[in-house]
């Protein structure tokens, strides 16, 4: 071949590439744009067809990080998972790093559905992409859970059986695990949880989070010494996947890792989506648990927590969802209670990391109970005042909480003092039964004291040990009962508003 022929052929190849280039660019530039500005995402909601892309452009001077809900795990969109950031094959709905001014991130939505997103740097900034079904879904993009092979499941069962007979060997193996590394994949979490159970796994995670030598080698890791919320979040998801609703029988409301385990359970139990239909189905499942009223109560309570997380701590919207999506009165009330509790937890540092709430105000001690958005809805207000003592004096019975209940409308006073009893008897406060009784007897009236003791009795009976009825010796005597069966009957009747489906 002559040089002239070679040059001619090269020119033809180059010409063909140049001719094709505009068509390629034209196809790639078919996308919807969402701008990141100082005031948030603009627009915050877009509608596209399955297979189309959204381009996120940072027009702000501050950096932003685009990610699928739910914060901080980024696992709502199928195949997305913050743990995969930095891996070569990862193609999740996650920019995986900060986008500086004028930088952009484009994502092609292969799965139809309603997909929420947020700024990982500032989770209060959020938006939604509604993807219409085109009938051409991509089955290759699936959630990561379920990767554990049958052989490894069988091996985990053998290990669990072995360590029951040789517990010292089990302790040695567990202590050698790097729980920070284990939490990076669902398969490893599931394997070791089948071996040791989630309680031991959570205990070990807390210890490892305080040990700098247990940090992962990956320089891009987002974990820091003493911080284990995200890892506990993943642990909670797998624990729910393995145990289902039965996990609600356990003492899973643990303050460690900023309630990360509890939030993981919430995320997984609501189907990792939290849309209206999922919440309705979940509430219907809670109602089926009515043979065990306590499990039903905890199940309904989780809905309120979950709605707050999924709706970025928008309290009025979450309460509205409780009212509209849960069809029976007790379920509505427990959902309200979970939402009000999550609203307080995020302020105390126990909510989802990075979130804040605008529905607490230090200058208004009775807020949000005195908010116009709640006016006229007595069932909702009743639960607000039931929970408000955690705002007036988190963690103990004080003069402020007494004054708060006395300020409340008279029709809510009884529930308000019952809420003080709930709050005073919480397990992590480490008060003895006698100390709890002493606190409740600070109430200004005998009826107030009785309601406080009743709330404390419920909390101690359901959160401190296996439930065997409302039969706490010390609290029952303070209520005037020497016979525990009589005390139990009294409590079941007095708490019927909480225990019975209406």
Q: Which of 197, 210, 173 is nearest to 252 (CA)?
A: 197
Q: Alpha-carbon distance 452 to 439, whole Å?
A: 9
Measured CA distances, 271 to 70, 335, 474 (Å):
11, 17, 41
Check pLDDT > 70 for residue 290.
no
225-253 pLDDT per residue, tens? 556 877 888 898 898 888 876 775 555 55
Q: Which of 138, 144, 140 is nearest to 68 (CA)?
A: 144
Pick from 215-219, 247-251, 282-286, 328-332 the range whose average pLDDT is largest.
328-332
Q: Alpha-carbon distance 61 to 106, whole Å?
A: 19
List domains and CATH numbers for the chain.
31-132 (2.60.40.420), 150-265 (no CATH), 271-499 (no CATH)
**Strands 122-132 and 45-49, sheet pairing:** parallel
Average pLDDT of span 258-272: 74
> Whole-number mean pLDDT of the chain?
83
Residue carrying structure tokens 């993009």: 141
105-109 long-range contacts (CB < 8 A, ≥24 apart) are: 105/55, 105/56, 105/66, 106/31, 106/53, 106/54, 106/55, 106/56, 107/53, 107/54, 107/56, 107/66, 108/51, 108/52, 108/53, 109/48, 109/50, 109/51, 109/52, 109/53, 109/54
What is residue 44's predicted lDDT score, i.e. its pLDDT? Answer: 94
**Strands 104-108 and 53-58, sheet pairing:** antiparallel
Check pLDDT > 90 for residue 419.
yes
148-193 pLDDT per residue, tens? 788 999 999 999 999 999 999 999 999 999 888 888 888 899 999 9
Name the token pair of 110.
């292969």
What is residue 57's predicted lDDT score, i.e. its pLDDT? Answer: 96
Label residue 267 by pLDDT band (50, 70, 90): confident
Q: Alpha-carbon distance 473 to 459, whole Å?
A: 14
Q: pTM of this prediction?
A: 0.72
pLDDT > 90: percent of the chain: 46
Find the Cα–Cα–Cα–Cα dihedral 336, 338, 343, 348, rounded to 10°.
Answer: 150
């Amino acid at each position: 071949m002559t040089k002239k022929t070679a040059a001619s052929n090269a020119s033809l190849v180059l010409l063909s590439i140049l001719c094709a280039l505009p068509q390629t660019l034209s196809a790639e530039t078919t996308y919807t744009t969402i701008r990141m500005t100082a005031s948030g995402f603009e627009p915050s909601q877009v509608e596209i067809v399955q297979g189309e892309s959204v381009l996120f452009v940072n027009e702000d001077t501050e950096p932003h990080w685009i990610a699928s809900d739910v914060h901080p795990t980024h696992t709502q969109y199928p195949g997305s998972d913050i743990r995969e950031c930095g891996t070569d094959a990862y193609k999740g709905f996650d920019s995986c790093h900060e986008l500086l001014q004028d930088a952009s991130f484009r994502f092609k939505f292969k799965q139809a559905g309603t997909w929420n997103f947020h700024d990982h740097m500032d989770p209060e900034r959020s938006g939604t992409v509604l993807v219409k079904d085109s009938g051409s879904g991509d089955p290759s993009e699936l959630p990561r859970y379920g990767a554990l092979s049958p052989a490894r499941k069988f091996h985990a069962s053998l290990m669990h059986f072995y360590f029951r007979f040789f517990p010292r060997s089990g302790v040695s193996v567990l202590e050698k695990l790097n729980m920070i590394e284990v939490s990076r994949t669902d398969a490893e979490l599931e394997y070791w949880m089948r071996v040791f159970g989630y309680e031991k796994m959570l205990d070990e995670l807390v210890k490892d989070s305080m040990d700098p030598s247990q940090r992962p080698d990956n320089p891009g890791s987002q974990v820091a010494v003493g911080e284990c919320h995200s890892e506990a979040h993943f642990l909670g998801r797998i624990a729910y996947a393995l145990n289902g609703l039965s996990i609600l029988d356990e003492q899973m409301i643990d303050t460690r890792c900023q309630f990360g385990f509890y939030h993981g359970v919430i995320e997984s139990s609501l189907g990792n989506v939290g849309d209206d239909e999922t919440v309705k189905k979940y509430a219907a499942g809670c109602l089926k648990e009515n043979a065990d009223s306590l499990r039903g109560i905890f199940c309904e309570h989780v809905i309120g927590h979950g709605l707050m997380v999924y709706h970025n701590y928008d309290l009025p919207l979450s309460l509205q969802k409780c009212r509209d999506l849960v069809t029976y009165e007790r379920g509505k009330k427990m959902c309200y209670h979970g939402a009000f509790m999550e609203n307080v937890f995020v302020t105390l540092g126990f909510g989802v990391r990075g979130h804040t709430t605008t529905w607490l105000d230090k200058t208004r001690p009775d807020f949000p109970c005195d908010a116009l958005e709640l006016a006229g809805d007595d069932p909702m207000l009743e639960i607000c005042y039931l929970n408000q003592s955690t705002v007036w004096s988190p963690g103990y019975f004080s003069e402020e909480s007494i004054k708060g209940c006395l300020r409340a409308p008279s029709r809510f006073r009884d529930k308000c003092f019952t809420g003080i009893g709930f709050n005073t008897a919480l397990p992590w406060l480490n008060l003895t039964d006698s100390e709890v009784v002493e606190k409740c007897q600070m109430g200004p009236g005998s009826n107030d004291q009785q309601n406080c003791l009743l709330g404390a009795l419920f909390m101690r009976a359901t959160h401190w040990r296996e439930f065997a009825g409302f039969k706490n010796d010390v609290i029952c005597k303070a209520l005037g009962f020497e016979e525990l069966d009589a005390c139990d009957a009294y409590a079941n009747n007095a708490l019927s508003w909480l225990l019975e489906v209406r």
